[in-house]
């Protein structure tokens, strides 16, 4: 598979979204929480509390929507500042109640628009980066589709970052890169190669800890093994004192 094939697969409309993962991993135990308490409830970010093998976890996901109607409502998974602020509110809540945080990342990027700028898109992302770095509870981020730049990183300052086999994570979209580099947005395939955005490339660069096999369909047993893998990981992280955990997280990013 070429890098561009991964880009296409990561963006495919029939790909499971955060909602699917939440349903398969947590079933009916997921209780959704809404709003950032400051401005609004951003539907591009879904968040709540759930049970994972009997233990409470905070769940946050960037949600693209599974059909056109949903996609419109979810702004195609591109969050506004209130979405990132909702995510941070839920992370702080998780810290207070000593439960781990799991983030599902799937976004082409933070939204670029008038409202987003007026309400401080840059400030909202910056605050998440800062606060997540010292959050006193384990954080795991799983890239299930697209990981678009700062809008993805704002949910990925984590103790571990995992990626689905066909997920991508990049500083700029391949289209954006091609139009800057060659003034030709059609050279997306070449740009995809240059950016080193596939899970394999990112694993080699030390940006992610684990590559997850793609589920063939929503009934796939991969969800069960993923569930156990997450539970195991949280169990191991829970044994680490908070100060040590934060130091490890700092060093995880300090090395780049």
Partner 1 sequence: MPDFFNFLKPKNELENQGEFAENHPYIPEELWIKCPVCKNAILSSDLMENHKVCTKCGYHFRLSARQRVELTVDENSFAEMDADMMSTNKIGFPDYEKKLRNAKISSGENESVITGSCTICGEKAIIAVMNSKFMMGSMGTVTGEKITRAFEYATENRLPVIVFTVSGGARMQEGILSLMQMAKTSGAVKLHSDAGLLYITVLTDPTTGGVTASFAMEGDIILSEPKALIGFAGPRVIEQTIRQKLPKDFQSAEFLLDKGFIDAVVQRKDMKSTLAQLIRLHKENDEGGAAL
Given the rule CB under 8 A, which residues bind partner 1? 110-114, 116-123, 125-127, 129-131, 133-134, 149-150, 153-154, 157, 169-172, 177, 180-181, 194-197, 202, 205, 207, 249-250, 253-254, 256
Q: Which residues of 227-242 are buried (b: 16+ CB within 10 A; e: fewer)?
A: beebbebbeebeeeee
Q: From the CB of 175, what's the least distance to partner 1, in Å?
A: 11
* Integer angstrom CA distances of residue 114 from 48, 80, 240: 28, 10, 43
Nearer to partner 1, 75 or 233 (CB): 75
Nearer to partner 1 by C-beta: 97 or 253?
253
User: Least Å distance between CB 54 and partner 1?
Assistant: 32
The CB-of-50 to partner 1 minimum distance in angstroms stands at: 26
Segment holding 82, helix H or strand E: helix 81-96
Q: Which one, 101 or 154, has the nearer CB to partner 1?
A: 154
Report the chain's terminal Cα–Cα distance, integer Å: 27
Q: Which is nearer to partner 1, 4 or 30 (CB)?
A: 4
Of 138 and 215, which has the nearer Cβ to partner 1? Answer: 138
Residue 162 is inside which H or E element, if any? strand 160-164
Nearest distance, CB of residue 25 and partner 1, angstroms: 26
Nearest residue to 102 via CA among 150, 134, 58, 45: 58
* Dihedral, CA of residue 193, residue 80, residue 223 and residue 162, to nearest 10: 50
CB of 8 to partner 1, least distance (A): 19
């Amino acid at each position: 598979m070429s890098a561009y094939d991964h880009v296409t697969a990561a963006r495919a409309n029939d790909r499971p979204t955060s909602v699917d993962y939440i349903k398969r991993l947590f079933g009916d135990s997921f209780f959704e929480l809404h709003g950032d308490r400051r401005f609004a409830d951003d539907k591009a970010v879904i968040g709540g509390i759930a049970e994972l093998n009997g233990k409470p976890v905070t769940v946050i996901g960037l949600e693209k929507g599974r059909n056109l109607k949903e996609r419109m409502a979810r702004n195609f998974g591109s969050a506004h500042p209130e979405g990132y602020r909702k995510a941070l509110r839920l992370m702080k809540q998780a810290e207070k109640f000593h439960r781990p945080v799991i983030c599902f990342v799937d976004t082409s990027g933070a939204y670029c628009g008038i409202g987003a700028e007026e309400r401080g898109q840059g400030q909202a992302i910056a605050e998440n980066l800062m606060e997540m770095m010292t959050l006193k509870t384990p954080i795991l981020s799983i890239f299930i589709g697209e990981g678009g730049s700062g809008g993805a990183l704002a949910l990925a300052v984590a103790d571990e970052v995992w990626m689905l086999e066909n997920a991508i994570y990049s500083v700029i979209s391949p289209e954006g890169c091609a139009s800057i580099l060659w003034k030709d947005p059609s050279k997306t395939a070449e740009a995809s190669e240059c950016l080193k955005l596939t899970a394999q490339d990112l694993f080699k660069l030390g940006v992610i800890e684990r590559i997850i096999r793609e589920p063939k369909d929503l009934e796939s047993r991969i969800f069960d093994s993923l569930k156990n893998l997450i539970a195991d990981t949280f169990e191991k992280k829970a044994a680490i004192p908070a100060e040590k955990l934060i130091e490890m997280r700092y060093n995880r990013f300090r090395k780049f």
